[in-house]
Amino acid sequence: GKPMWGTWWVWDARLTSELVLLFLYAGVIALWHAFDDRKMAGRAAGILVLVGVVNLPVIHYSVEWWNTLHQGSTRMQQSIDPAMRSPLRWAIAG
């Protein structure tokens, strides 16, 4: 982010929610290895995963809910320049 924002980190909604997701992922791994009993470890990690699922819609809709540095959703509209559309299609086709 430093070349674009002039700093290494910005407390943007999308970036912060992604950071929370990273911490949840690290927590699931740590929780899995904290138990000797694999069944108990699976249950504990599964509960944390279910808690973390709440963060997924926040990540997805963060650019629509808050004024962020990231581009908003362009699902129903084409925001790509027409000159770039053809090369993009060729690149996707392989």
**pLDDT tens column, 14-47:** 888 889 999 999 999 999 999 999 999 999 999 9
pLDDT of residue 70: 61
Crossing angle for the helix pair 13-34 and 55-65, to the nearest 10 degrees: 170
**In angstroms, how far is CA 31 from the centroid of its own chain?**
21
pLDDT of residue 72: 59
pLDDT of residue 8: 86
Joined tokens for residue 22: 């990273």
pLDDT digits 0-9 by tens, 47-87: 999 989 988 888 878 777 777 666 656 665 666 778 888 88
Token pair 């808690």 is found at 51
Residues 6+ apart with CB under 8 A from 27: 48
Using only C-alpha atoms, what is the Rg of the chain?
19
Residue 77, sorted as left (phi over 0), alpha (psi -120 to 50) or beta, turns out to be beta
Mean pLDDT score, 3-15: 82
Amino acid identity of residue 50, one-letter, is L
Measured distance CA(63)–CA(93) in Å, rounded: 29
